[in-house]
Amino acid sequence: MTRVFQEVHAVLPQATLDEAARQEFINQLGKHVLNEFTPGTRVAYERDVLPTFKREHGREPTDRHEIRKVMIEHPFYRMTSSFQRTVQEMMWDSVDESIQRQLPDLIDTSRKIAAGNTIGSISLKDGFEIPRYVSENDHHAMPGGYSGDLCDGDITAGALYDRGAFIYTQGLFGPRMDGIGKAASIMARRLWPGLAPKKILEIGCTAGGSTVGLKAMFPDAEVHAIDVGAAVLRYAHARAESLGVPLHFHQMSGEALEFDDASFDMICCLASLHETSLTATHNIFKEAFRVLKPGGRFLVSELPPYEGVDAWTQFVRDWDTYNNAEPYWGRVHELDFSDVATQAGFDRTHYGQGFGTGVAEANALTSAVEVQNKKFMGSTRGGGQAWYAWMTKAG
């Protein structure tokens, strides 16, 4: 079995032996549920649910909503779904208990780093208003979501994401959790040979793992990253400093960028749009268009569309929408990003979309890691391929 260990940095919560054992147990339990129990839902569908549906309607279900309506009544589906959700909550709890035990020390470390001689920067705003689609939801059942700010100088949300996401992806994003940023950079180079951006902006950076990946692949660029949560940004800044990566973090919404027109060469939204509302996605595209230089590139990595996927697979992938506090998940799968782009000002002829570089390739991880991850919690956490939309600002 291929095993990937998370790279230690100054604010990474360290697990005691007991905590590590609990995290490992939950990790294995999650895999067991998904590999041994969840596949039985397909059997229940084909043996019980589908024949009844056909008898009653004289046809097969046409979409995921029809399948869901009948499947949620089936006891086996209810049981496996409940197992999946419970394991997800247990996973966050196992990380959170370890963070809370060492929180004062972690906050102290992040404060000392921010007050010292830094190579990057952080700017937070008093009274910053977090958009409701972030503040009122605990995305993927992460306690407190991305906006939790529990005490003065809190870093919990960043630590939860950094450690929790490493556990639930079982290391697939790489030891530095930078796989998404590295994969996007490789994709960008393939799309636009000779690309050499001087200034890059990442919208929705959370703990800054993807931002570290962007900087690794474009070391000459000045890299900025924004998020709405203060605790994720404090953590991201301390983390990047500790890893020796110069990055500039800002508390800011992608819907209202406080940057000059035509000031960036490349902007990225890496796995962030499925955590925003539809209106926000439109606003973010408009703002990206505004602050890109003429000829600037916008790269989005997101959940792949449902279009062309059979109704059962759509239903399986939609599990997160209803059970994992991902209210925008299904909506993003249906979104026509080319429409959003053209409404924001991008020329349709400068728009493209499709599958491309995945995180496993970016971190040169073996397919064994990929196989372990394939069925873990939802549909899209495999590392082989990622889905992208890309566009260029004319000029």
Ligand X SMILES: C[S@@+](CC[C@H](N)C(=O)[O-])C[C@H]1O[C@@H](n2cnc3c(N)ncnc32)[C@H](O)[C@@H]1O
C-beta of 248: minimal distance to ligand X in Å? 15
Cβ nearer to ligand X, comparing 227 with 361: 227
Contact between 15 and ligand X (CB under 6 A)? no
Interaction of residue 203 with ligand X, rule CB under 6 A: yes
The residues facing 224 across adjacent strands are 201, 248
156 binds ligand X (CB under 6 A): no
Least Cβ distance, residue 322 to ligand X (angstroms): 18
Q: How far is the CB of 315 from ligand X (least distance, A)?
A: 23
Q: How far is the CB of 133 from ligand X (least distance, A)?
A: 7
Tell me if 330 contacts ligand X by CB under 6 A: no
Q: Which of 206, 314, 353, 373 is the binder for ligand X (CB under 6 A)?
A: 206
Q: Please, which residue, 61 or 229, has the CB nearer to ligand X?
A: 229
Amino acid 139 reads H
CA angle 3, 168, 21 (to 5 degrees): 65
CB 288 within 8 A of CB 203: yes
Residues 6+ apart with CB under 8 A from 286: 343, 344, 345
Q: Does 98 bind ligand X (CB under 6 A)?
A: no
378 binding ligand X? (CB under 6 A): no
Q: Please state, in angstroms and rounded to a whole number, the distance separating the CA atoms of residues 256 and 263.
A: 14
Is residue 169 involved in binding ligand X (CB under 6 A)?
Answer: no
Tell me: does residue 212 bind ligand X (CB under 6 A).
no
Which residues from 247-266 bind ligand X, rule CB under 6 A?
253-255
- Choose, by CB under 6 A, the member of 131, 144, 148, 304 that binds ligand X: 131
Which residue, 71 or 205, has its beta carbon nearer to ligand X? Answer: 205
Q: Tell me the DSSP string of 275-300.
A: GS-HHHHHHHHHHHHHHEEEEEEEEE
Residue 287 is a binding residue for ligand X (CB under 6 A): no
Looking at 146, 166, 218, 285, which residue binds ligand X (CB under 6 A)? 146
Least separation in angstroms between CB 253 and ligand X? 4
DSSP 8-state assignment for residue 387? E
Six token digits for residue 87:
């394991």
Supply the minimum distance, in Å, between the C-beta of residue 116 and ligand X: 25
Q: Is 280 in the site for ligand X (CB under 6 A)?
A: yes
- C-alpha 145: how far from its chain's center? 12
Residue from 276, 357, 363, 379 touching ligand X (CB under 6 A): that is 276
Question: Does the footprint of ligand X cover residue 270 (CB under 6 A)?
Answer: yes
Residues 6+ apart with CB under 8 A from 276: 131, 133, 134, 204, 254, 284, 328
Query: Where do the H-state alpha helices sit in the chain?
Result: 17-32, 40-44, 50-57, 64-71, 75-115, 132-135, 156-168, 179-191, 209-217, 230-242, 278-291, 311-317, 319-323, 329-334, 337-344, 359-362, 367-373
Is 271 near ligand X (CB under 6 A)?
A: yes
Residue type, 354: G
Q: What is the DSSP string of 119-131?
A: SSEEE--TT----
One of 38, 81, 210, 363 touching ligand X (CB under 6 A): 210
Contact stretch for ligand X (CB under 6 A) within 8-16, 84-92, 102-110, 200-208: 200-208
Q: Distance of CA 105 to CAs 60, 89, 146, Å?
A: 58, 25, 21
> In this structure, what token pair is assigned to residue 95?
């990380």
Q: Can you give the binding site for ligand X, defined by CB under 6 A?
A: 131, 134, 146, 180, 203-206, 209-210, 226-229, 232, 253-255, 270-272, 275-276, 280
